[in-house]
Amino acid sequence: MVAKLEQVRDEFITEWGALGSAWGVNRTMAQIHAYLMSCPEAQTTDEIMESLEISRGNAHSNIKELISWGMIKKVLKKGERKEFFLAEKDPWKIFCLVAKERKKREVEPIIGILNNCIADLKGVKGKEADDFQKQLKDLTEFVEMGDRVMEKISRSEKNILFKWLLKIL
Amino acid sequence: MVAKLEQVRDEFITEWGALGSAWGVNRTMAQIHAYLMSCPEAQTTDEIMESLEISRGNAHSNIKELISWGMIKKVLKKGERKEFFLAEKDPWKIFCLVAKERKKREVEPIIGILNNCIADLKGVKGKEADDFQKQLKDLTEFVEMGDRVMEKISRSEKNILFKWLLKIL
DNA sequence: CTGAAGTTTCAGAAAATACTGAAAATAACG
DNA sequence: CGTTATTTTCAGTATTTTCTGAAACTTCAG
């Protein structure tokens, strides 16, 4: 019966990994997070390597990345020299962490770029330039709104988020 | 002064393309959309190829993909044999289209998979299996909520969305 | 029909991305 | 210290993804 558990775990890991790659997240990174979400206890690098059949280097770099996103935490156990890793398991928290990270990495930079483009177009005459500038302004307005929403989300508690969603639905 | 316009256009295209690849959208696909957003008039495949310096095959397949997402439309002009392409320019509509597409491609399948995993774990005894099943249920609940939100978004008009966001902010 | 204009397909090439494995570095223990 | 366990790095390799370019196909005007 334990075999069944492992089988389901592997299925979950595989699918979560595929989902990750659709979201611009490294497949292995998503798989490690999936594996750790499936474990009540913190796991070592070796256990991760064995479960996913990946090399130490690969495991290591993706664990580091997950830590930098705040998706997993390093746990030290007394009497043990190895490091153990524990996943953030609350879907709401995971969502907030991802929103925060993507806001920083993707949304903020694009706002700067759009504003540069708009500034550079000042003084360029003609209908085409005017239309393009209008388009850039519309996009900027939208992205800035998205930015504010993500900011709010990444600072919010689960129950606040939940209330918003209930209003929407 | 037209040179300046082209320069800004290229910058915008480049950056929007980079943003796209972070979102799991093919870079060229995002660039073509960016180019068409910068043009008041519909453009031909050849104009797209020239502006982005890409091959016909590449242009063609990404144009097809953009059409299937609903992000651009084919326009036929009388007296012209060539096909012209026009971008959806409203950021809100673009957002809704992307939400709709990703819901279909990513969110819906994962719900099925999670439910399978939960069903397969029925009957597996032990704390580890129980904990894992609980985790899967939490994830499912969350993803299903996300699914409903995306459904709602993809059906909504701009002003409805706007109202929600004002409430949140 | 015929042929020019335009579109579609796809095998192979190129580029981008991710992974391995082993060596170097670090930390803990006696 | 010296030894051993563990983590970190990274050059080279493998894999995945994307792109090219040319041939096949379609459409349309004469």
| Separation CA B20–CA A73 (nearest Å) | 30
Q: What is the pLDDT of residues B97-139, one digit of tens each?
A: 988 888 988 889 999 999 999 999 999 999 999 999 999 999 9
Model confidence band, residue A2 (pLDDT cutoffs 50, 70, 90) = confident
Q: What is the pLDDT of residues A29-88, one digit of tens each?
A: 999 999 999 999 999 999 999 999 999 999 999 999 999 999 999 999 999 999 999 999
What are the DSSP calls for chain A, one per residue?
-HHHHHHHHHHHHHHHHHHHHHTTS-HHHHHHHHHHHT-SS-EEHHHHHHHHT--HHHHHHHHHHHHHHTSEEEEE-TT--SEEEEE---HHHHHHHHHHHHIIIIIHHHHHHHHHHHHHHTT--SHHHHHHHHHHHHHHHHHHHHHHHHHHHHH--HHHHHHHHHHH-
Over residues A128-146, mean pLDDT: 96
Model confidence band, residue B1 (pLDDT cutoffs 50, 70, 90) = low
How close A12 comes to chain B (CA, Å)?
7
Percentage of chain A beyond pLDDT 70 is 99
- B window 65-94: Cβ near strand D (< 7 A): 81
* Antiparallel, parallel or unpaired: β A83-87 and A72-76: antiparallel
| Separation CA A68–CA A75 (nearest Å) | 15
List of chain B residues whose C-beta atoms are within 8 Å of the C-beta of residue A125:
1
Q: What is the mean pLDDT of chain B?
A: 93
Residue A156's pLDDT is 84
Q: Do the chains contact at B139 and A91, CB–CB below 8 Å? A: yes
Using the CA of B57, give the nucleotide whose C1' is nearest. D20
Residue in B121, B152, B165 closest to A8 by CB: B121
Q: What is the pLDDT of residues B50-99, one digit of tens each?
A: 999 999 999 999 999 999 999 999 999 999 999 999 999 999 999 999 88
Model confidence band, residue B25 (pLDDT cutoffs 50, 70, 90) = confident
B76 DSSP β-pair partners: B83
Using the CA of A57, give the nucleotide whose C1' is nearest. C20
